[in-house]
Structure 1
Amino acid sequence: MSVIVTGADGYLGWPTALRIGSRTDERVVLVDNFARREWVESIGSTSAVPIASIDDRIARASDELGVENLSLVEGDLTDRAFVDRLLSVHEPETIIHTAAQPSAPYSQINGERANYTQHNNLQATRNLLWGLHEGGLEDTHFVETTTTGVYGAPEFPIPEGGATMENQGERDDVPFPAMAGSWYHLTKSHDAANMRLAHKQFGIPISDVRTAIVYGTETDETAADPRLATRFDFDYYFGVVVHRFCAQAVAGYPMTVYGRGEQRKPFVALEDAVEGLARLAINGPNARPDDHVVYNQVTRAISIVEIAETIADVAGEFGLDVEVEHFENPREEDETHKMEIENDRYDDLIGGQSTTFEEGVRQILGTLVDHEETVTTHEDRFLPGVLTDGE
């Protein structure tokens, strides 16, 4: 038996694979087609932190961490024949599915990228679910990182998965309605529905991990050697807001808050995101469901203004003088929305938050100061602009 980690070359997938490998003797199969590197390059950006080749990463995991159970299978999950071979050969006990085109802004660039995002993300998930069913592997625990973006921005506290609907005096628990705000987020809404259907029809145990905005540059494992580092994107299309603000601070740019910036967004530190997925993978206490379970992978909601102010304060520790400026918001969103989101199930899974937001910002700035030249060389990517392929 084995654990399969898809998207294992990615920002979240790589440190998750490392942690799982360090905690189990089972084979950990890393699956990726390395498209993330191509997507980022196509919009003229790069990872601020140099990324070693996957072969070098696996070798360093052995040398530095004593992790000997990682192996690579390169392939495209949208190819059904590849997926069927992957599953039949490795017969996974658990699949941690982190592979996806993860950028909402990238999916919004044009129709071609919207179509690509939807085909890539949905086809991969369907292939895996049907592959498990038709391969007689319905006992495999299927864990996917979807997104808290499927919830949209309702004016009431967001439950951990479902909702209660009342109509004409009758009440029932129903899946939370899809309220996605981008072509990317909608793929995860569809994935959530497909996973629920796969559990109902095939009996596959499902953990739908609705991942918040993940921030941070390292985990205990990736910090052991520079060649174990995970990627760090800071551009408009692939860099989450915390990363982009920190990069702007290092480059001497004012942090660009869109609109009033009082809206709160859900966040989780990389360390806390990796820990949850690792616990689900190795079937820790109460981690493997018999049913379909939804986790809100979030530790707290933070306003955009609070993010900028916290970064500005911590930046002073590094001798950086940072200003906060407000720009017209290019996105359609409520700039004062006070998001509340329940996370009791996920908090119980990881045993409580391990990293505060301020600690995470300090870690990011410390890393980026060491890679200031890369950040400043690509500072034109902080804001949306003309793409390198002319689109």
Structure 2
Amino acid sequence: MRILVTGGAGFIGSHLVDRLMEAGHEVLCLDNFYTGTKRNIVKWLNHPYFELIRHDITEPIRVEVDQIYHLACPASPIHYQYNPVKTIKTNVIGTLYMLGLAKRIGARFLLASTSEVYGDPEVHPQPEEYRGNVNPIGPRSCYDEGKRVAETLAFDYHLQNGVEIRVARIFNTYGSRMLENDGRVVSNFVVQALKGEPLTVYGKGSQTRSFCYVSDLVEGLIRLMNNEHTGPINLGNPDEYTILQLAQAVQQMVNPDTEIIFKDLPKDDPQRRRPDITKAKTLLGWQPTIPLQEGLKTTIADFRDRLTAEGDSLVSR
């Protein structure tokens, strides 16, 4: 098939591009390189089945494809809060253009939504039926509410225009190619530990998250796209860890002497986050297979290699 991946040079997008290329598809990678990077997709640049398009999805584009994986949007708080108006435009106008494209060319459309649509949840774990507890005017709302509107648009295009849609609600994902400065908890801890800096835990570290390795997530996205279920479907790892437990795991794997320090909790930071993946198991036959310790080992090795290549003399060997 001929497949468009928006945000294809990003962390998750580039791993998805790898899988699609390895499966023999023709892949169009669209990215404006706000958080994506060419190094993630450099190995495909001269491949006859790969095409890189530098483009911002808040502007219309015309291409011919069979499927659209719509991943384009900064996903870490540091990046999506840097320019919140741009973030919500990407989620709303960008999704509108991509759905319009899917309608015109008859392509199947997968929206990479997020667990952030649940906000700071009052139901635990979070099933797809839960409608969320989201602050519409807080610092995270450009992303949280932007993705909620994107879901609305997807379902309206489906109901009104018959567009084939798939909606994935992605929970915390980690792995190789995460940005060093994205402000996410895994990359923060790994980079701090490798540089011999104290690990920064916000609040008491009692807030929980679930961590899905990127290869597991990509498998879930592909299964959802090629299944007959519209969604939304949660994709994430149901194993739940406190932030302090994660810090201690990274500490032990990199440098047991690393100090852990505590700072004030950011506004609207969710206290608990864990997916109910019953639908993914029953409808897609999908569940994560990579345990946290194994995924962290690979992630730490990737960060160590990149930091060393960038000439960071502080990297802990």
Q: Does the alignment pair 1:288 with 2:228?
A: yes
RMSD, aligned α-carbons:
2.6
Which residue of 2 is the match for residue 70 of structure 1?
50
What is the one-letter code of the residue matched to 1:252? G
- Secondary structure of the 2:246 match is helix
Asked if structure 2 preserves the Cα contact closer than 8 Å seen for 1:129 and 1:198, the reply is yes
Which residue of 1 is the match for residue 94 of structure 2?
124
Correspondence list, 1:221-300, <5 A: 231-235=177-181, 238-281=182-225, 283=226, 287-289=227-229, 292-300=230-238
Q: Does the alignment pair 1:358 with 2:297?
A: no
What is the one-letter code of the residue matched to 1:261? G
Structure 1-normalised TM-score?
0.72
Q: Give per-residue Cα distances to partners, 1:5-57, cap 9 Å, x unaligned.
A: 1111111111101101212x4422222222325xxxxxxxxx8xxx5385x32
Asked if structure 2 preserves the Cα contact closer than 8 Å seen for 1:148 and 1:211, the reply is yes
Partners in 2 of 1:72 and 1:144 — Cα distance?
20
Which residue of 2 is the match for residue 100 of structure 1?
73
Asked if structure 1 preserves the Cα contact closer than 8 Å seen for 2:4 and 2:69, the reply is yes
What is the one-letter code of the residue matched to 2:111? E
- Secondary structure of the 1:36 match is coil
Asked if structure 1 preserves the Cα contact closer than 8 Å seen for 2:166 and 2:231, the reply is yes
Corresponding residue to 2:161 among 202, 212, 220: 202
With over 3 angstroms needed to count, the CA separation of the structure-2 counterparts of 1:33 and 1:272, relative to structure 1, is same
Q: Give how far 1:187 is off.
A: 1.0
With over 3 angstroms needed to count, the CA separation of the structure-2 counterparts of 1:377 and 1:119, relative to structure 1, is farther
Larger radius of gyration: 1
Q: Give how far 1:347 is off.
A: 3.9
Higher RCO by CA contacts (8 Å cutoff, separation 6 or greater): 1
Which residue of 1 is the match for residue 143 of structure 2?
184
Q: Give how far 1:117 is off.
A: 1.1
Matched length: 308
Q: Does the alignment pair 1:308 with 2:250?
A: no
Q: Does the alignment pair 1:15 with 2:15?
A: yes
What is the one-letter code of the residue matched to 1:215? Y
Q: Give how far 1:339 is off.
A: 3.8
Q: Which runs of 5+ in 1 are unaligned?
A: 38-46, 63-67, 164-175, 218-230, 380-391
With over 3 angstroms needed to count, the CA separation of the structure-2 counterparts of 1:178 and 1:3, relative to structure 1, is farther
Partners in 2 of 1:76 and 1:259 — Cα distance?
37
Asked if structure 1 preserves the Cα contact closer than 8 Å seen for 2:45 and 2:51, the reply is no
What is the one-letter code of the residue matched to 2:16? T
Q: Give how far 1:178 is off.
A: 6.2
Q: Which runs of 5+ in 2 are unaligned?
A: none
With over 3 angstroms needed to count, the CA separation of the structure-2 counterparts of 1:264 and 1:205, relative to structure 1, is same
Which residue of 2 is the match for residue 3 of structure 1?
3
Partners in 2 of 1:243 and 1:216 — Cα distance?
9
Partners in 2 of 1:329 and 1:162 — Cα distance?
28
Partners in 2 of 1:30 and 1:333 — Cα distance?
32
Partners in 2 of 1:247 and 1:327 — Cα distance?
18
What is the one-letter code of the residue matched to 2:119? G
Q: Give how far 1:232 is off.
A: 2.8
Partners in 2 of 1:146 and 1:377 — Cα distance?
38
What is the one-letter code of the residue matched to 1:30? C
Which residue of 2 is the match for residue 58 of structure 1?
44
Q: Give per-residue Cα distances to partners, 1:67-87, cap 9 Å, x unaligned.
A: x5222233222112x2xx22x
- Secondary structure of the 1:371 match is helix
Q: Give how far 1:260 is off.
A: 0.7
Q: Give per-residue Cα distances to partners, 1:290-316, cap 9 Å, x unaligned.
A: xx3111111133211111111112225
Q: Give how far 1:261 is off.
A: 1.2
Asked if structure 2 preserves the Cα contact closer than 8 Å seen for 1:315 and 1:321, the reply is no
